[in-house]
Structure 1
């Protein structure tokens, strides 16, 4: 079996194209270096370099060996790193989230999160709530960030940030949609058929109050809901952080400001009993330090 020192000499010779220069790079005399290469060739029963008085050229067999030799040397270096008391083995986490939150918050945070844990690599996948939960169940995601309401005993979570909502419409419609009976002339825009956004407002209202809209329009994402409101399509409930600039600019107006919708929380969610549960808890701690954008 080739020893690591011989592979290191072989890799150096391939990189420098000169035994003399390569020998100096690994701290050996030219004679000792040449002996290392000779013994490696005898062990493998192939010629790794064609030598002349003026040059050294790697052979076809040497070219085949080179990638494997480099991988073996790198794995050996990692053994040293992993074995040290202050080092942690590298690992990956696949993290799901909705498109808008991923782009505005998680993607900009990747650099800081990597600095927190250099050995951890985060991979992001975007989708809506039901799609992400299904991927989590099937093991295609390790965890997800969502404000999806949870009623399941097989999932664990950590709270991250409180999410506040606002019942809004475009400025032109604001005055005509202040009372429940006026909803009969308006279109409710939401993401999914169970109206997950509007429920935050409805649950905050008196039980006897009925908001019966002329129609419903389902557009899949909060970014699409916002665009429809800006186009004057109707009313909707949206996360306040997501439309703060629109409210300041006056392009969207808030309805029933004194009795806002219920709030919710962004949560880091994972399967109960997952082997990486301690890592999810550490990730949640890091995410709580990063303000929503």
Structure 2
């Protein structure tokens, strides 16, 4: 059985003063009560800690060895109280944050030094993956949290909203010059590029007011990641709905242009997703508040 904090306090006071009566005053006990605590401690440890005579008290070899450990234990107990009261600052913490490759490289990686400065006790690691993969890994606790716009219904997950994610339906200017896409019938000459079988990107246009399931494409090619989709759009290999931040410079450079600009695709949100039973939630909320102050790039 481990010794109690009160027993350690009594022992340390007696060991420092080598006078049970004086030590009893320090810990606010009677000499008899302090002597009883010392005897119980010695019985629990199975060894005497003091040599007592009518004239003096001294530490045994076991008592000398026990004293620094007991003092460290009391210091640790005081630190526990201070930590609970928020008096010693944030504790060291390690977090693995998952996100899409392109978002991580364009937005998070450039912020790593600033994050380290803002959160000096946080060791932040990155993991790159796709939306479904990120959600599964947060659920299984392979990673701590993830930033994604993927929607989820898992009751074990919770989220804090970050930046709004806007979408645009685009194609390469040279492709659209050769093969216009301004009427429904034109879709039969085009390839739609998307991330998966459920068309997670095109649905933002399809489900928007004025959109609808009215375009019949020649074929649909699934490329998994949105940076791969963007590159193929720039190559003229197809058309796609993409995040506005990702093609902002392409639109400004007139490498791509909007398709059916009268239809505004639905918006979504980037979210910091984590398990709802994760004790690190306060840190996730602080990190989310900090990230909201940085521009999405």
What's the TM-score, normalizing by structure 1? Answer: 0.69
* Alignment deviations for residues 241-265 of structure 1 (CA, whole Å, 9 cap, x no partner): 1111111111111112232211110
* Alignment deviations for residues 192-231 of structure 1 (CA, whole Å, 9 cap, x no partner): 1111110101011447651111101111111111111111
Cα offset, 1:88, TM superposition: 2.2
Larger Rg: 2
Picking from 153, 164, 181, the partner of 1:151 is 153
Picking from 193, 211, 229, the partner of 1:189 is 193
Q: 2:109 matched to which residue of 1?
A: 107
* Counterpart secondary structure, 2:247: helix
**Are residue 240 (structure 1) and residue 244 (structure 2) matched?**
yes
Picking from 216, 233, 256, the partner of 2:220 is 216
Picking from 178, 181, 184, the partner of 2:182 is 178
Structure 2, unaligned runs of 5 or more: 1-64, 66-75
* Counterpart secondary structure, 1:93: strand
What's the TM-score, normalizing by structure 2? Answer: 0.69
Would the aligned equivalents of 1:162 and 1:265 in 2 still touch at CA under 8 Å? yes
**Are residue 85 (structure 1) and residue 87 (structure 2) matched?**
yes
Q: 2:203 matched to which residue of 1?
A: 199
Q: 1:169 to 1:208 in 2, by over 3 A?
A: closer
Number of residue pairs the alignment of both structures matches? 216
Cα offset, 1:121, TM superposition: 1.1
Picking from 122, 125, 132, the partner of 2:124 is 122
Matches within 5 A, 1:7-22: none
Stretch of structure 1 that moved more, 271-280 or 175-184: 175-184
Would the aligned equivalents of 1:180 and 1:209 in 2 still touch at CA under 8 Å? no
Distance, in Å, in 2 between the alignment partners of 1:226 and 1:268 is 24
Cα offset, 1:86, TM superposition: 3.9
Q: 1:97 matched to which residue of 2?
A: 99
Distance, in Å, in 1 between the alignment partners of 2:181 and 2:272 is 36
Q: 1:260 matched to which residue of 2?
A: 264
